């Protein structure tokens, strides 16, 4: 069934993508594609044009129920339950290979659905997804229990050992900023540890996850091990979070929704892990090179249209070099090419939705109302052409002379808006950097190693980058202090969050 007008797709769109978009997409439950139980659909939009891109099923609580039942059946299916750890690893390797083999299609789908440049989707979204599956493919055969040297008690000799078992059904709820890789952050460790998953992508950007589900099937995962239910957060997401058959919910999204998910999870006391919002300080010391650091600060915020949970959205520059950094930063921001993500020249695409654009614009207004100075940006970029007249574009924006009481400094904007402040005294700087409900990440630029390590130790954030920014790796733990989350994703530590540990006591006497 043709559901999108593919004549509006930009010229270099791969053929496979056009035919994928033209299909009406169902829910993936128990290894089958099927419509929503209500028959309702929702439309995905191309944010560069505002036009419909593809049609997908709008799931209901009954669909979530069916997906949970399928996941429970998969956990009991010998085809999943009884395969060896090495075989589980092989399935994940095969999935990584399929992601790599389909990289171009996946990158275009992500770019058309989310707005980001194809080059970013290719390198970051698709690249990270493949790397995650490969990294976690190695763990099933290596995540060992322990033998614990207990002293004899009451004259009995005891052997005590631990084993790691799957938690069961994992409900994974993910946002729209890095749609497929956020899904992979949860799928990879969950599958490596032998769980079954009910996955809900964001309603704005479900397409790459649906394509990924096809690859999961092609890789040979048994039916029901991975289920995808698309639809509204308040319906499908809420049903997953509350479902008594879900043993753990792994959520990435806003802090506000994270609270709702946690409350809903209380019913059956399911395990909860949360990756939430951020308002990360990006700190420049007086010895930094103003031009190099301005480029880094610009990339730190404008990468992915500012829609990055770790975006370096609060810039603190030492007053000695503030003017030099700000003039280089404004120059850098003005040179960023804004346009549709499929144009190879584009460096920054549109925001994900009309709603997100309106939110971000209202933050800019609020900053100006509260006395900030518009150093650059704030408007719709010129020269976009008729085709993109209704796209959700905003110029890279810098608000200077901001103060801590302003909403633009306190709240997560989640768009291409940087707030800049001067600092002079280091203790005051650290207090201000920590004066946030969030604690996801921070960046520091200095050659003074003593200062760098002192400040890194004092900052309350899950990740601190020194002379680099926005780097992640499947082997390195990622997560937030304070209201930025519960638990860590990636690295060895995340495996604990996808397993139950059983302590077994044996009387050897």
Using rule CB under 6 A, residue 281 touches ligand NAD: no
For residue 434 the two structure tokens come to 């920590």
Using rule CB under 6 A, residue 277 touches ligand NAD: yes
- Specify whether the CB–CB gap between 108 and 118 falls below 8 A: yes
Residue from 53, 190, 241, 250 in contact with ligand NAD (CB under 6 A): 241
Closest separation between CB of residue 113 and ligand NAD, Å? Answer: 13
Site residues for ligand NAD, 462-481, by CB under 6 A, read 480
Concatenated DSSP letters for 291-345?
HHHHHHHHHHHHGGGG--TT---EEEEETTTHHHHHHHHHHHHHHPPBS-TTSTT
For residue 81 the two structure tokens come to 């339950």
Residue from 412, 422, 436, 470 in contact with ligand NAD (CB under 6 A): 412
Torsion sign, CA atoms 467, 468, 473, 476: positive
User: Which among 232, 242, 244, 199 has a CA at the least distance from the CA of 60?
Assistant: 232
Closest separation between CB of residue 331 and ligand NAD, Å? Answer: 28
Using rule CB under 6 A, residue 410 touches ligand NAD: no
Which parts of 201-289 fold into alpha helices (H)? 207-219, 238-242, 255-265
- Specify whether the CB–CB gap between 215 and 95 falls below 8 A: yes
Residue from 108, 139, 176, 498 in contact with ligand NAD (CB under 6 A): 176
Rounded-to-integer distance, Cα 157 and Cα 202, Å? 54
- Specify whether the CB–CB gap between 227 and 197 falls below 8 A: yes
Residue closer to ligand NAD (CB basis): 242 or 406: 242
Closest separation between CB of residue 55 and ligand NAD, Å? Answer: 17
Closest separation between CB of residue 301 and ligand NAD, Å? Answer: 13
Residue with tokens 């079954």: 196
- Alpha-carbon dihedral of residues 285, 289, 292, 294, nearest 10 degrees? 50
Active site residue: 275, 395, 412, 489, which one? 275
Rounded-to-integer distance, Cα 36 and Cα 156, Å? 59
Concatenated DSSP letters for 175-223?
-SSSHHHHHHHHHHHHHHTT-EEEEE--TTS-HHHHHHHHHHHHHTPPT
Using rule CB under 6 A, residue 202 touches ligand NAD: yes
Closest separation between CB of residue 496 and ligand NAD, Å? Answer: 18
Residue from 140, 168, 175, 189 in contact with ligand NAD (CB under 6 A): 175
Site residues for ligand NAD, 120-159, by CB under 6 A, read none
Of 121-129, 212-220, 248-256, 446-454, which part binds ligand NAD (CB under 6 A)? 248-256
Of 114-122, 142-150, 271-279, 369-377, which part binds ligand NAD (CB under 6 A)? 271-279
Is residue 275 part of the annotated active site? The answer reads: yes
Rounded-to-integer distance, Cα 339 and Cα 48, Å? 8
Using rule CB under 6 A, residue 63 touches ligand NAD: no
Supply angle C-alpha 252, 105, 210, rounded to 5: 45
Residue from 261, 333, 360, 400 in contact with ligand NAD (CB under 6 A): 261
User: Which among 27, 33, 100, 10 has a CA at the least distance from the CA of 62?
Assistant: 27
Question: Which residues in 417-444 are b (16+ Cβ under 10 Å) and which e?
Answer: bbbbbbbeeeeebbebbbebebbbbbbb
Closest separation between CB of residue 172 and ligand NAD, Å? Answer: 10
Closest separation between CB of residue 71 and ligand NAD, Å? Answer: 17
Using rule CB under 6 A, residue 110 touches ligand NAD: no
Residue from 179, 194, 224, 253 in contact with ligand NAD (CB under 6 A): 253
C-alpha distances out from residue 422 to 315, 418, 426, 435, Å: 8, 13, 11, 15
Residue closer to ligand NAD (CB basis): 91 or 265: 265
Residue closer to ligand NAD (CB basis): 168 or 175: 175
Using rule CB under 6 A, residue 237 touches ligand NAD: yes
Of 11-19, 269-277, 367-375, 379-387, which part binds ligand NAD (CB under 6 A)? 269-277
User: Which among 460, 416, 386 has a CA at the least distance from the CA of 308?
Assistant: 416
Residue closer to ligand NAD (CB basis): 253 or 377: 253
Of 25-33, 147-155, 171-179, 493-501, which part binds ligand NAD (CB under 6 A)? 171-179
Site residues for ligand NAD, 422-451, by CB under 6 A, read 440
Closest separation between CB of residue 122 and ligand NAD, Å? Answer: 19
Residue from 322, 392, 414, 498 in contact with ligand NAD (CB under 6 A): 414
Residue from 278, 378, 396, 416 in contact with ligand NAD (CB under 6 A): 278
Residue closer to ligand NAD (CB basis): 222 or 277: 277
Catalytic residues: 275
Interaction site with ligand NAD (CB under 6 A): 173-177, 182, 200, 202-203, 233-234, 237-238, 241, 252-254, 257, 260-261, 275-278, 309, 412, 414, 440, 480, 484-485
């Amino acid at each position: 069934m043709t559901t999108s007008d593919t004549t509006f797709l930009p010229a270099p769109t791969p053929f496979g993508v056009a035919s994928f978009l033209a299909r009406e997409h169902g829910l993936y439950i128990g290894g089958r594609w099927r419509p929503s139980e209500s028959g309702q659909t929702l439309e995905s939009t191309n944010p560069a044009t505002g036009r419909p891109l593809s049609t997908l099923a709008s799931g209901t609580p009954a669909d979530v129920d069916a997906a949970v039942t399928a996941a429970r059946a998969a956990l009991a299916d010998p085809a999943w339950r009884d395969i060896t750890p090495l075989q589980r690893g092989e399935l994940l390797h095969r999935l990584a290979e399929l992601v790599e083999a389909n990289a171009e299609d996946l990158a275009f789908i992500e770019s058309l659905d989310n707005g980001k440049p194809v080059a970013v989707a290719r390198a970051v979204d698709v690249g990270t997804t493949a790397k995650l599956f490969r990294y976690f493919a190695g763990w099933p055969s290596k995540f060992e229990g322990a033998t614990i040297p207990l002293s004899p008690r009451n004259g009995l000799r005891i052997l005590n050992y631990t084993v790691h078992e799957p938690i069961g059904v994992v409900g994974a709820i993910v946002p729209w900023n890095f749609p497929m890789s956020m899904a992979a952050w949860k799928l990879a460790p969950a599958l490596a540890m032998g769980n079954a998953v009910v996955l809900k992508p964001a309603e704005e950007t479900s397409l790459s996850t649906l394509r990924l589900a096809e690859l999961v099937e092609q890789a040979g995962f048994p039916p029901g091990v991975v289920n995808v239910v698309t639809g509204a957060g308040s319906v499908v997401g809420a049903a997953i979070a509350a479902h008594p058959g879900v043993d753990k919910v792994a959520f990435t999204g806003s802090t506000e929704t994270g609270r709702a998910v946690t409350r809903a999870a209380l019913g059956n006391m399911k395990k909860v892990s949360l990756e939430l919002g951020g308002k990360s300080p990006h700190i420049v010391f007086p010895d930094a090179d103003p031009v190099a650091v301005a480029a880094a600060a610009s990339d730190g915020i404008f990468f992915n249209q500012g829609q990055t949970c770790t975006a370096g959205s609060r810039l603190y520059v030492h007053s000695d070099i503030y003017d030099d950094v700000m003039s280089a930063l404004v120059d850098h921001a003005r040179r960023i090419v804004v346009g549709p993500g499929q144009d190879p020249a584009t460096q920054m695409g549109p925001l994900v939705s009309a709603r997100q654009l309106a939110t971000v614009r209202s933050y800019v207004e609020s900053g100006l109302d509260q006395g900030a100075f518009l150093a650059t940006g704030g408007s719709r970029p010129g020269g976009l052409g008729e085709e993109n007249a209704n796209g959700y574009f905003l110029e890279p924006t810098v608000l200077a002379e901001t103060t801590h009481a302003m909403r633009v400094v306190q709240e997560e904007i989640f768009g291409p808006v940087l707030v800049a402040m001067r600092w002079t005294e280091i203790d005051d700087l650290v207090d201000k950097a920590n004066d946030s409900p969030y604690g996801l990440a921070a960046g520091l630029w200095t050659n003074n190693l003593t200062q760098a390590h002192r400040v890194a130790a004092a900052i309350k954030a899950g990740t601190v980058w020194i002379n680099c920014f926005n780097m992640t790796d499947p082997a390195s733990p990622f997560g937030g202090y304070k209201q930025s989350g519960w638990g860590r994703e990636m690295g060895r530590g995340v495996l604990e969050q996808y397993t139950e540990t059983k302590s077994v006591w044996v009387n050897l006497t």
